[in-house]
Structure 1
Amino acid sequence: MFYEMTIAGLKRQLPLCPINKDLYIAAFIMFNDVEITQVAATELLKKAPEFDVIVTAESKGIPLAYEMARQAGGKDYIVARKAPKLYMTNVIQTNVDSITTDHIQTLCIGQAEADQITGRRVLIVDDVISTGESLKSMELLVNSVKGNIVGRMTVLAEGGAAHRDDISFLEELPVFNADGSIK
């Protein structure tokens, strides 16, 4: 089963994937889709407030964050990693319970990333926001190093996230019943 939608003027078929027996979500995969990554970055930047650095989670949002930073004239972007890396010092971390992952994840940054965020205008970016758990974890990281969050942006707002007034997005993505109908 697929859900066809238009995202930033481009049609895509998103495969429907079960979360449980009663809930399916449409998988939006930016990896390997340069065209949609470039166009989505362009459209999001049109809505973006002034910012100094982009923060995203180590996920499918990475190519979007990179492309937005590139199109914005080479702004900095930070990836909150899923685990501490050997090069990181003074690691700051938080936990994430995401709808698309079957276990609790960690997001973390090191001192170098913290220094790039502290006192700067931060734009948090992700490919899809649904429950908001990844977003909340990124906010905790940014706030813990005294970054100034100026915006939260995503390509798709899934389910109830489309009704939030604290995020900007390009398209609303519904959630689905097991038979593929929209909930």
Structure 2
Amino acid sequence: MSYVGRVHTVQIGDLTRELPLFNVAPNVTIAIFNMLGDTAVVEEAADLLAARMPADADVLVVPEVKAIPLGHALAVRTDLPLAVVRKFRKPYMADCLESEVVSITTGVPQQLYVDGKDLPLIRGKNAVLVDDVISTGSTSRGLHQLMAEAGANVAAEMAVFTEGDPARWAHIVALGHLPIFTD
């Protein structure tokens, strides 16, 4: 079955969005959730996730790129500091921690970096990992590795959506779930 040109409809609080379906591997199609520039979705998701923030949270940690606006909005609502885990090491970043991941949307190995300037925000703290979608768990594993290296405790993981087997992501605080479509 071809999913080209089809969409998957989702609810985020009171908002409805149609997500385009995109083939990521032979016979594997996913709904692409991209909240960049969709300020209404970012704000709604931040409101809903902030209400479910663990009381012992000390810091929010987000991978770039699509989770950054959500992390910012959550930081504003919760008054928690925000650390952004980068995918590219910039010349000004010193004393970085590094982990390699393979994302379902890129399909190629990529690095994750915690800038040394953010280590004091994270070290010894209860970190809440926040992402837009958790699918294969590769980015999540990379973030967990970085938090362990930084001496942080992962207090919770939050996402707008999980994807794939719902039972695998029962521990994630998420607003919804996206199926994986197979032919």
TM-score range (shorter-chain normalised) is over 0.9
Question: Which residue of structure 1 aligns with residue 107 of structure 2?
Answer: 102
1:129 is aligned to 134
> Do the aligned residues in 2 keep the contact of 1:57 with 1:81 (CA within 8 Å)?
yes
Distance 2:107 2:174 in 1: 25
Q: Is 1:71 the equivalent of 2:77?
A: yes
Identity %: 33
Whole-Å Cα distance in 2 between the matches of residues 114 and 166 of structure 1? 26
Alignment gaps of 5+ in structure 1: 179-183
Once the two structures are superposed, residues 35-82 of structure 1 have per-residue CA deviations (whole angstroms, 9 ceiling, x without a partner) of 010010110111110211110111211111111001113x21111111
Whether 2:115 is the aligned partner of 1:116: answer no
Query: 5 Å matches for 1:120-159?
Result: 120-159=125-164
Q: Give structure 2 stretches of 5+ with no counterpart.
A: 1-5
Match of 2:66 among 55, 60, 64: 60
Letter of the structure 2 residue corresponding to residue 127 of structure 1: D
Report deviation, 1:164: 2.3
Match of 2:171 among 155, 166, 183: 166
**Match for 1:119: what amino acid?**
G
Further displaced range: 61-70 or 45-54 = 45-54
**Aligned amino acid, residue 34 of structure 1:** T
Give 2:149's aligned amino acid.
S
| CA deviation string 1:127-170 (max 9, x = no partner) | 00011100110111111010121100000011115542321101
Q: SS in structure 2 opposite 1:176?
A: strand
> In 2 relative to 1, CA 162–44 (structure 1 residues): closer, same or farther, beyond 3 Å?
farther
One-letter amino acid matched to 2:82: Y
CA RMSD, aligned part only?
A: 1.2
**For this pair of structures, how many residues does the alignment match?**
177
